[in-house]
Every structure is written in C-alpha cells, then in structure tokens.
C-alpha cells in the first residue's frame, strides 16, 4: 500500500531541513524514494521513540507529592507505587496504557519501549494465560496506534544479597525457565509495529547466573536488552559492598554490553565509567522528568557526549509525557549544575534543540531494536508535523525552529502525527481520545474507590 505524494515544506534530516523536492514517499508504512505523500505543514520532523515506560504508573501521576512522616526519597515513593499497583488487573492496565499511549502520540512519541514487570495476579498467582498482562499492553499499543517494543522484565531477588522478593513484589517474579517461556510465547507476535526484547530489572533483582542463562538462550539472540542501573546512590553502595565494584563497572565487566543494550538512568557514573559506557555503543536511557521527580540526580551529559556516547529519552513514571519537557530539562539541569549555557551543543554554531532531538532519535531507535527515528529510505514512516501557525514559530528558520520547538513556551507544537505511514493524530486530535478518556475515568474512579 502506498499513500499520496509527500508535498512537505521542510523535512528535518540529521542536522538540517531538506526541501520538499527531496521528500521521500511512503510504501507499506516505510519511507521510500519512489513515491511521495501529501503532508501539509512547513516543518516535519521524525517522531520520537520513548525508550522507557512503566505504563500503569500514569494513573498515579500527582499522587506522591505529599510529604511523608520522614524524609521522602525514591524509596518512600516506591512504597506508594507498590500500594497503587496492588489492585491492577490486565484490563485496568490495558485501559490506562491506551490512554497513556494516546497522550504519548499527541506529545510526539511514535514508539514506546515498555519495561513491563507487573506480570501476575495481585496475590502473585499466574494468570491462566501467563502472558495476560503482556497481551493487554500489546492491545493498548495497537488500539492507540503507537509502535511498541515490549520488554518483559525479569525480576527475581530483592537485593544484591539475593534475598527473596517482598510480598508486594511477588507479582513481578519469574524464574529463568518461566521467563524464557514468556519470551518464546511473545516472539511470534512480532511485526513492524511490535518488537519483543529483554529487560533485566536491575543488578539487584537479577542474579549473575540468571542474567547469563537468559542471554545465552536462542530466543534472546538479537533482542534488545534493557536494564535499570545506577539510578540511586543506595544501589551503587550496595553493589560496592557485595560485589566490590559499582553496578555499571560490574555490568561492563560481566556482559557483552554493546549496541543491543540500553542502560536506563545510569545517573551515578565515575569518569571512567562514563568513557567506557560511551565507547560500548550502548544507549544511556535518560528520563529527566522522572529522575527529577524522584530526586535521583544528574547524568554526566557533557563528558558522555564528548566521548561519543549514545542517548535516548523515556517518560518512565509519566508524571510528564512530553519529549519537549524531557529534553528541555535534560539541558537545563546541566546548566543549573555548571552555571553555563548551551551544554548539549558541544561545538560553536551547534543548536541545542537540533542536537538533542537528533541524539534522542538515534538512541531511541537503537533502544527499540527497529529501523525508525529518521526520515530515510527503509525506516518506518514515523513523523510529526509542527504547528507552523503557532506564534512560537513565527520567523523561525533552520535550527532555530528546533530550538523554539524545545525551548520556547508551553503549548504543544505537535499538530499531526504519523506512525508507519498512518495518521494517528490530525490537528491535535486522536480519533479514539474521547472513548479512551471515558474508559480511563471508569477504571481510575473504581481504583480510587477501593
């Protein structure tokens, strides 16, 4: 199937705008030089992959901003999150995820990597179909029309000492055999809009031998591998105490960390780890709004970029769902810490907006394990049309458009969104948003009444 000619004003490619005459066409949901599609609007940019999501957390956005009896931290937040998750069943997760994924599309995300650990029933029992929760997420992505890399999470232990999971974590547990069986059940469902990958929850939750066993299976071969790492100082200290080294150093020493890997957060790095991670080809999965909300800390961005490191962004806990806010505050956090400006642009004349959008496309695509994130032949046809009628874009040309897109104002500039050659959002509106919002209201009101 092909769609009509792409008569675009300007198409963002790598570090600049290409004129309409060089616009590619779209065949079977991929960009191809042979045809062209009808796309109104002066500025068209590749859609952003969201490399880290825990969809169910969307429904608790705003519910953890009240002071507890002591010092609040990541760890007290986690208790709130476990309590919230306790009642969720697959249909609840499907409804919440559908709402979230529609919000993602409207914000400019065209693909999501779902780091999915809520596998079993509230009492810890397996569902009749052990993939029930995974299938709910796949259905949500399909209903919303967003691309999905589903990453079922292996979560076995409650700490580096190998202690068993607590009662509220029992819904997350698989042994290696059960986990590989889940991957094998899901793998045949793959299609251009769905990739299956591996998620190791963290080094504290996956013993070394289990990590090696999973990675050695045939189903795991070529799958993307994601892991939470070095988000909190406490995790780094525990790893040092028990394994004699930091989590990132341990992983780099004990796994073949390469372009297949996404290290989520990687907040607390030594200078040497920053260099090694950059050279490995792995993606640093940065989630600036969640990392700020949880008080994690700041990633060593300038050193990592100077070393050629690859990065992408995720909305993670979904207190925010916007690539603009993620990238704006990724940069601003660095400015506050260094008291200098324009940190992500490492060379004179570089635009911060263009640099960050481009870097996150590349890292997000690598994390997804699919050919997407660029308007080039063969890539999945994911794109955004910016609202060139907005006062924020008046008289903006060249990279100033990307800077104004990311650094000016607070009204969304993503007007239309295409995924795999299909329009999902037109004129700021998604065809299923009213229906989804009604379903979401029903589910969240029920959860609140429990």
Least distance from C-beta 274 to its own copies, angstroms? Answer: 18
Answer yes or no: are the C-beta atoms of 149 and 373 closer than 8 Å. no
Answer yes or no: are the C-beta atoms of 174 and 119 closer than 8 Å. yes
How far apart are the C-alpha atoms of 261 and 226, rounded to whole Å? 6
Q: Scanning residues 349 to 368, which ones bind its own copies (CB under 8 A)?
A: 349-353
Least distance from C-beta 301 to its own copies, angstroms? Answer: 13
Question: Is 38 in the active site?
Answer: no
How far apart are the C-alpha atoms of 419 and 146, rounded to whole Å? 7
How far apart are the C-alpha atoms of 295 and 304, rounded to whole Å? 21
Contact segment (CB under 8 A) with its own copies among 218-226, 240-248, 300-308, 336-344 equals 336-344
By CB under 8 A, residue 66 contacts its own copies: yes
Which position among 296, 382, 387, 416 is part of the footprint of its own copies (CB under 8 A)? 296
By CB under 8 A, residue 94 contacts its own copies: no
Answer yes or no: are the C-beta atoms of 111 and 47 closer than 8 Å. yes
281: Cβ contacts below 8 Å, ≥ 6 apart: 258, 259, 310
Question: Is 174 in the active site?
Answer: no
By CB under 8 A, residue 77 contacts its own copies: yes
Residue 176: CB atoms within 10 A of its CB come to 18
Q: Scanning residues 134 to 173, which ones bind its own copies (CB under 8 A)?
A: none
Could you tell me whether strands 16-19 and 422-425 are parallel, antiparallel, or unpaired per DSSP bridges?
A: unpaired
Could you tell me whether strands 310-313 and 16-19 are parallel, antiparallel, or unpaired per DSSP bridges?
A: unpaired
By CB under 8 A, residue 103 contacts its own copies: yes
Q: Which is nearer to its own copies, 10 or 195 (CB)?
A: 10
Q: Which is nearer to its own copies, 67 or 221 (CB)?
A: 67
Count of residues that interact with its own copies, criterion CB under 8 A: 79
Q: Scanning residues 401 to 430, which ones bind its own copies (CB under 8 A)?
A: 403-412
Contact segment (CB under 8 A) with its own copies among 141-149, 211-219, 313-321, 417-425 equals 313-321
By CB under 8 A, residue 391 contacts its own copies: yes
Among the options 316, 382, 388, 403, which is catalytic? 316
Answer yes or no: are the C-beta atoms of 424 and 418 closer than 8 Å. yes
In total, the chain counts a number of residues equal to 450
How far apart are the C-alpha atoms of 57 and 393, rounded to whole Å? 33
Q: Scanning residues 209 to 238, which ones bind its own copies (CB under 8 A)?
A: 233
Which position among 98, 134, 320, 360 is part of the footprint of its own copies (CB under 8 A)? 320
Q: Which is nearer to its own copies, 195 or 246 (CB)?
A: 246
Radius of gyration, CA atoms only, the chain: 21
Q: Which is nearer to its own copies, 362 or 392 (CB)?
A: 392
Least distance from C-beta 391 to its own copies, angstroms? Answer: 5
DSSP state letters, 135-177: HHHHHHHHHHT-EEEEEEEE--BSSTT-PBPPGGGGGG---HH
Residue 338: CB atoms within 10 A of its CB come to 12
By CB under 8 A, residue 181 contacts its own copies: no
Least distance from C-beta 1 to its own copies, angstroms? Answer: 33
By CB under 8 A, residue 62 contacts its own copies: yes
Least distance from C-beta 99 to its own copies, angstroms? Answer: 6
Could you tell me whether strands 422-425 and 414-419 are parallel, antiparallel, or unpaired per DSSP bridges?
A: antiparallel
Answer yes or no: are the C-beta atoms of 408 and 20 closer than 8 Å. no
Active centre residues (catalytic):
265, 316
């Amino acid at each position: 199937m092909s769609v009509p000619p792409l008569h675009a004003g300007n198409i963002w490619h790598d570090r600049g705008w290409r004129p309409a005459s060089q616009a590619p066409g779209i065949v079977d949901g991929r960009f191809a030089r042979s045809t062209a599609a009808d796309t109104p609007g002066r500025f068209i940019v590749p859609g952003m992959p969201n490399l880290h999501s825990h969809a169910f957390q969307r429904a608790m956005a705003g519910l953890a901003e009240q002071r507890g009896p002591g010092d609040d931290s990541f760890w007290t937040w986690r208790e709130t999150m476990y309590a919230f998750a306790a009642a969720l069943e697959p249909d609840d997760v499907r409804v919440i995820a559908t709402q979230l994924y529609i919000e993602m599309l409207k914000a400019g995300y065209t693909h999501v990597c779902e780091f999915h650990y809520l596998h079993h029933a509230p009492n810890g029992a397996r569902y009749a179909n052990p993939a029930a929760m995974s299938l709910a997420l796949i259905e949500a992505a399909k209903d919303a029309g967003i691309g999905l890399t589903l990453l079922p999470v292996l979560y076995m232990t409650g700490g580096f000492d190998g202690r068993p999971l607590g009662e509220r974590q029992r819904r997350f547990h698989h042994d290696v055999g059960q986990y590989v069986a889940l991957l094998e059940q899901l793998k045949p469902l793959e299609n251009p809009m769905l990739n299956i990958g591996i998620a190791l929850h963290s080094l504290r939750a996956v013993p070394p031998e289990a990590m090696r066993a999973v990675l050695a299976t045939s189903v795991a071969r070529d799958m993307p591998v994601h892991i939470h790492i070095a988000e909190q100082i406490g995790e780094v200290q525990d790893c040092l105490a028990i394994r004699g080294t930091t989590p990132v150093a341990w992983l780099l020493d004990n796994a073949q960390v390469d372009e297949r890997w996404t290290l989520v957060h990687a907040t607390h790095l030594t200078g040497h780890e920053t260099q090694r991670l950059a050279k490995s080809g792995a993606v640093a999965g940065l989630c600036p709004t969640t990392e700020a909300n949880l008080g994690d800390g700041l990633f060593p961005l300038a050193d990592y970029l100077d070393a050629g490191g690859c990065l992408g962004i995720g909305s993670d806990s979904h207190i925010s769902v916007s690539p603009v806010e993620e990238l704006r505050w990724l940069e601003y956090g660095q400015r506050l810490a260094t008291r200098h400006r324009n940190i992500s642009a490492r060379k004179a004349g570089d635009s911060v907006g263009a640099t960050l959008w481009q870097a996150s496309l590349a890292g997000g695509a690598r994390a997804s394990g699919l050919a997407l994130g660029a308007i080039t032949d063969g890539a999945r046809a994911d794109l955004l049309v910016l609202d060139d009628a907005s006062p924020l874009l008046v008289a903006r040309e060249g990279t100033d458009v990307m800077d104004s897109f990311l650094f000016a104002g607070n009204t969304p500039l993503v007007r239309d969104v295409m995924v795999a050659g299909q329009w999902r959002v037109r004129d700021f509106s998604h065809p299923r948003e009213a229906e989804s919002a009604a379903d979401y209201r029903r589910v969240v009101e029920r959860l609140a009444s429990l």
